[in-house]
Amino acid sequence: MRVLVVDDSSTNRRILERLLAGWGKKPTLAENGQQALASLAQAVDAHKPFALVLTDATMPGIDGFQLVEEIRKNPQLSGVALMMLTSCGQRGNAARCRELELAGYLTKPVGQAELLEAVLRVVGTNPTKEKPSLVTRHSLREEGRPLRILLAEDNLVNQTLASRLLGKHGHNVVIAANGRQALQRLENEEFDLVLMDVQMPEMGVFSSRIHFN
């Protein structure tokens, strides 16, 4: 998936480029709105359109909202999803985002997990369906699905710490003291995720992995 990153900060561009590439995306960088519009036009001419534009809100010259307005004027760019990042959210910005049909609006600083979840929701939107709601930090927290997690860990302190951290996010944690117990749990119960320590008594993570395969 091709993603256009628009930000006047070179540091922010590099961080987003590294994150997106690590998630299997193909990022292209632009340091201002004019470069972004040129990149979008070139992508259309090459029949390699961007699936997502990830833009900063506050930039010299053409800011994020003006860039979105220009993109919306071009019918050839109607299929691109638009997400905005801002370091200073202002009253009325969310309403303006909905008016311009932005798919996402997040306030900096944005965590990696939060950004990935937002990107996945935005690019997964089907444009033929009813207009989706704006993805924001609040909506991500409200709509996050609690997970049933199997924690394979022999250290009591780590068990307690991990359980508390995951529990604060609403997840249900089941503890197995070693790999053998983890396998027994997996045979009889369903889990969304397994977190495993590398070194455990009786059966470590690499021995357990053979059984999972």
CA 96 from centroid of its chain's CA atoms: 22
Question: Do 70 and 138 have their domain in common?
Answer: yes
Q: What is the 3-state secondary structure (H, E, C) of 50-103?
A: CCEEEEECCCCCCCHHHHHHHHHHCHHHCCCEEEEEECCCCCCHHHHHHHCCCC
Question: Do 129 and 176 have their domain in common?
Answer: no
Domain of 67: which CATH number? 3.40.50.2300
Within 13 Å of residue 211, how many CA atoms lie on the same side as its CB? 15
Question: Do 129 and 34 have their domain in common?
Answer: yes
Question: Do 61 and 137 have their domain in common?
Answer: yes
Question: Do 93 and 43 have their domain in common?
Answer: yes
The last residue of a domain, from among 143, 163, 181: 143
Report d(CA 173, CA 148) in Å as an integer: 6
The last residue of a domain, from among 143, 170, 198: 143
Question: Do 116 and 198 have their domain in common?
Answer: no
Question: Do 51 and 114 have their domain in common?
Answer: yes
As a whole number of Å, the end-to-end CA separation of the chain is 29
Question: Do 94 and 187 have their domain in common?
Answer: no
Report d(CA 41, CA 18) in Å as an integer: 24
| CA distances for 60 relative to 37, 63, 102, 113, angstroms | 15, 6, 21, 29
Number of domains forming the structure of the chain: 2
Question: Do 194 and 102 have their domain in common?
Answer: no
pLDDT tens by residue, the chain, 213 residues: 999 999 999 999 999 999 999 989 999 999 999 999 999 999 999 999 999 999 999 999 999 999 999 999 999 999 999 999 998 777 778 888 999 999 999 988 888 888 988 898 888 644 444 555 788 887 877 666 678 899 998 889 999 999 988 888 778 899 998 888 888 898 988 888 888 887 666 655 445 443 444
Question: Do 172 and 134 have their domain in common?
Answer: no
Domain range for 163: 148-212
Report d(CA 40, CA 92) in Å as an integer: 28
The last residue of a domain, from among 117, 143, 169: 143
Report d(CA 2, CA 9) in Å as an integer: 20
Q: Which two tokens stand for residue 207?
A: 């021995």
Question: Do 99 and 155 have their domain in common?
Answer: no
Question: Do 28 and 131 have their domain in common?
Answer: yes
Q: Which two tokens stand for residue 131?
A: 């207009």
